[in-house]
Structure 1
Amino acid sequence: MWKLAFKRLCRPLRFLIILGGLSDQAEAQSLVKRLVDHFLNDTTSAARPHVSFYPTLGYAPETSFEFGLSALYLYHARNDTLHNRLSEIQAFSFFTLRGQYGINLDHAIYGDNDRWYFLGRGRIQRFPLLYHGIGPHAESSHPATVDAFSIQFRERAMRRLRPNLFGGLEVDFQQLSRIDFQQPDGHAHDLPIGSQGTSNLGLGLGLIYDSRPNALNPRKGFFAEIAYLNYGQSRSQSLSFNSLFADVRMYHTLRPNQVLAWQVYSNLMTGDVPFNQLALLGGENTMRGYYMGRYRDKFYSAAQVEYRWLPLTFSRRFGAVVFAAVGTVAPSLSQFQLDHLLPTAGTGVRYLLFKKKDVFLRADMGITREGIGFYILTGEAF
């Protein structure tokens, strides 16, 4: 699934109406300059908060055309760029020609002097899920389509323990309801755990080390997270399971405009895990090129490396990246096999949206054995 994000909205008709009412040509020219600077040149102070809105357009076979509106809010606590990191809040709402809809919210919020750190995401969607089965041998052809209403909420509330080190509570709530499990003709899947709907709340503890000055475009620093969550019995079924995951990322500035980044990610689950909460391979951030959930199981591990030119030497706005990754899933850690590793690689272009805050719009293409995936989003993949 790819999302096409246009350049920030200029609203030309509205501007023409406003300009038509101005009798003074100099005043009109001044207004045009201010508007161009606000939407295209980002001439505001780096310390001031910045908000932008832009429309989105997407297409996928399971959704037809998708239309939406995105908002991005960037700021530093107390407008202090010397001592406080860049915080970001992203919101995205959409609907499709097939009646699907959703609201997404992602955020990374740093408090004054890093006293608090909030990292999380939320999803409220009626959106189809493609289900190919469970395990590293799930077939690519004849997937089932799971049309359902889903609510996902993941939040980390972290307190600074030492410089760059945070510890605290992690909460994960996921609900899947109003499920229509549509089997492919002549290739029925065994109904997985949770196919009738589930509602699960996970509570746990986590540690995060984060020395990145800018989470949307890290040029240097180190990020690591380890967390354990316990999910009690669901409301609809007697399910109980656990999740342990680790995420490690490193960023090296090789030249002023060139960054080498790498990431290792693992997720281990035990117990009776519903199919929608198994570890999922694919998506717009890790293992790009694979549909999110193309492979799923209780254990998932992946590693990726990316080289970034931000921006290119001959351009002030445009950049580029190349990346490669490998990953796989398995029923358990002991059953992980190297010969099941799946490769993906690709390239992408970047456009500098906010020069003062060093934030790029990314367009990536991931190439796998099964096809190509396209992604257009704000901020780097990791």
Structure 2
Amino acid sequence: MVFRQVLTLLLGGLFVGLPDCAVSQTLVRRVIDHFLNDTTSPAKPRLLVYPIAAYAPETSVELGVSSLYLYHAKNDTSLNRLSELQAFGFVTLRGQYGLNLENAIYGDKDRWFFLGKVRIQRFPLLYYGIGPASHGKHPATVDAFSILFRQRAMRRLQPNLFGGLEIDYQHLSRVDFKQPENLTHDLPLGSQGTSNLGLGPGLIYDSRPNPLTPRKGFFAEVAYLDYGPSRGSTLSVNSFIADVRGYHTVRPQQVLAWQVYGNMMTGNVPFNQLALLGGENTMRGYYWGRYRDKFYAAAQVEYRWLPFPFSKRFGAVVFAAVGTVAPELNKVQFSHLLPTAGTGIRYLLFKKKDVYLRADMGVTREGVGFYIFTGEAF
């Protein structure tokens, strides 16, 4: 992921800097005006498409395309919030592939709200075991075909309050566990593949004008999902999710943001559906899935300069977080709390839509993680 995102930026820089024999100066100016100078009206939709190249030992060379589409319903910036659609597709020379889609769509006058993601891929992941004491030096490599479909279809109940149905479908097949040389992991539940469909009610409170760069307001979600055999699920699972975030403008262009997140699962939970700690959003610095179990809780705080007082486009953040996993809520041990902290740089990508490119570095007791994405982590 890190090499992929870094090389994406390098390719973008090489494209803008091509000589006259490859791309005319007029085309280069148009590219700069379209993507950097942001000369169009704030009400107009914006589309960014760029190539991706990467290399990793487990995937070999990876090539792909990523895109970001931003718009306001009916092009009305006074009544409607910023909606976003992101897409990323890739293939590798070893036959691996993936398609990732994310959406946060606000209808006209907030009548509807759709929030979700889709991931279809055959891509290796690292499995360190289950629980807060899992071994960190010798992970198994799991190669499998997976489908993840998570969507919230919400209707406005009151201003900023939405209620509706949450859907989560997770499929895992063609699973191949490759054990490390120095350690043999016990094969977890679901190692032969599973398909589970979860349905349930959800409530979302969202007063953020811009979900990609929140400067004020609150976001809160509570949801209950039931993965029952009556819907064709391989295993019986229940999941409860709570996510609360707050954003406060401390000074002009400076924001204090915080988040508290919890996920509690019961039943026969396959390893790929366990609550996963780490990744680019909450516990930055830990590999996504480094720790996994039926219960996961985390809290983080971040201070943002968007942008610096002396710059029109560059800003920065500092953040800290703590989290843990456990088999049950009443079995959480404070000795297993995992801290992380870090900093990041921001670049104002779309000035008139207030959207930033972020580059974050998270530092943990186990190492360092680097992330480059569009939009804030939370």
Q: Normalising to structure 2: TM-score of the pair?
A: 0.94
Cα distance in structure 2, aligned partners of 1:300 and 1:32: 48
SS of the residue 2:123 aligns to: strand
* Residue-by-residue CA offset, 1:128-153 (whole Å, 9 max, x unaligned): 11111000000101111110010110
- Partner residue in 2 for 1:279: 275
| Matched-pair contact (CA < 8 Å) for 1:118–1:156 | yes
- Partner residue in 2 for 1:220: 216
Cα distance in structure 2, aligned partners of 1:186 and 1:230: 38
* Residue-by-residue CA offset, 1:38-79 (whole Å, 9 max, x unaligned): 132011000000101112344545334433211000000000
Whether 2:295 is the aligned partner of 1:299: answer yes
Whether 2:152 is the aligned partner of 1:162: answer no
| Matched-pair contact (CA < 8 Å) for 1:9–1:55 | no
- Partner residue in 1 for 2:355: 359
Larger CA deviation: 97-106 vs 304-313: 97-106
Q: What is the one-letter code of the residue matched to 1:81?
A: T
Structure 2 spans left out of the alignment, 5+ residues? none
- Partner residue in 2 for 1:241: 237
Deviation at 1:257, TM superposition (A): 1.1
Q: What is the one-letter code of the residue matched to 1:121?
A: K
Deviation at 1:37, TM superposition (A): 1.4
Whether 2:67 is the aligned partner of 1:71: answer yes
| Matched-pair contact (CA < 8 Å) for 1:198–1:235 | no
SS of the residue 2:340 aligns to: strand
Cα distance in structure 2, aligned partners of 1:96 and 1:302: 34
Whether 2:121 is the aligned partner of 1:131: answer no
* Residue-by-residue CA offset, 1:150-171 (whole Å, 9 max, x unaligned): 0110000000000000000000
Cα distance in structure 2, aligned partners of 1:229 and 1:74: 30
SS of the residue 2:229 aligns to: coil
- Partner residue in 2 for 1:372: 368
SS of the residue 1:356 aligns to: helix
- Partner residue in 1 for 2:137: 141
Against the structure 1 CA distance between its residues 156 and 307, is the aligned structure 2 distance closer, same or farther, given a 3 Å change threshold?
A: same
Residue in structure 2 matching 1:263, options 253, 259, 266? 259
Q: What is the one-letter code of the residue matched to 1:317?
A: R
Against the structure 1 CA distance between its residues 76 and 161, is the aligned structure 2 distance closer, same or farther, given a 3 Å change threshold?
A: same
Q: What is the one-letter code of the residue matched to 1:193?
A: L
SS of the residue 1:36 aligns to: helix
Cα distance in structure 2, aligned partners of 1:220 and 1:127: 37
Cα distance in structure 2, aligned partners of 1:304 and 1:165: 24
Cα distance in structure 2, aligned partners of 1:16 and 1:223: 50
SS of the residue 1:316 aligns to: coil
- Partner residue in 1 for 2:178: 182
Against the structure 1 CA distance between its residues 209 and 9, is the aligned structure 2 distance closer, same or farther, given a 3 Å change threshold?
A: farther
Residue in structure 1 matching 2:117, options 107, 116, 121? 121
Q: How many positions carry a matched residue from both structures?
A: 373
Cα distance in structure 2, aligned partners of 1:145 and 1:137: 19
Cα distance in structure 2, aligned partners of 1:251 and 1:58: 35
Against the structure 1 CA distance between its residues 60 and 67, is the aligned structure 2 distance closer, same or farther, given a 3 Å change threshold?
A: same
- Partner residue in 2 for 1:100: 96
Larger CA deviation: 232-241 vs 71-80: 232-241
Alignment of 1:198-209 (within 5 A): 198-209=194-205
- Partner residue in 2 for 1:89: 85
Residue in structure 2 matching 1:55, options 51, 56, 67? 51
SS of the residue 1:185 aligns to: coil
Against the structure 1 CA distance between its residues 260 and 57, is the aligned structure 2 distance closer, same or farther, given a 3 Å change threshold?
A: farther
- Partner residue in 2 for 1:320: 316
Against the structure 1 CA distance between its residues 8 and 377, is the aligned structure 2 distance closer, same or farther, given a 3 Å change threshold?
A: farther
Q: Normalising to structure 1: TM-score of the pair?
A: 0.93
Deviation at 1:262, TM superposition (A): 0.4
* Residue-by-residue CA offset, 1:216-237 (whole Å, 9 max, x unaligned): 0101110000000000239998
- Partner residue in 2 for 1:23: none
* Residue-by-residue CA offset, 1:309-363 (whole Å, 9 max, x unaligned): 1111111111111111000000001101222100011111111110000000111
Q: What is the one-letter code of the residue matched to 1:370?
A: E
| Matched-pair contact (CA < 8 Å) for 2:80–2:109 | yes
Larger CA deviation: 346-355 vs 50-59: 50-59
Q: State, as a whole percentage, how many aligned pairs show the same letter.
A: 73
Cα distance in structure 2, aligned partners of 1:333 and 1:17: 60
Structure 1 spans left out of the alignment, 5+ residues? 20-27
Q: What is the one-letter code of the residue matched to 2:302?
A: E
- Partner residue in 2 for 1:25: none
- Partner residue in 2 for 1:22: none
| Matched-pair contact (CA < 8 Å) for 1:286–1:302 | yes
Cα distance in structure 2, aligned partners of 1:60 and 1:350: 26
Deviation at 1:12, TM superposition (A): 6.4
| Matched-pair contact (CA < 8 Å) for 1:8–1:52 | no
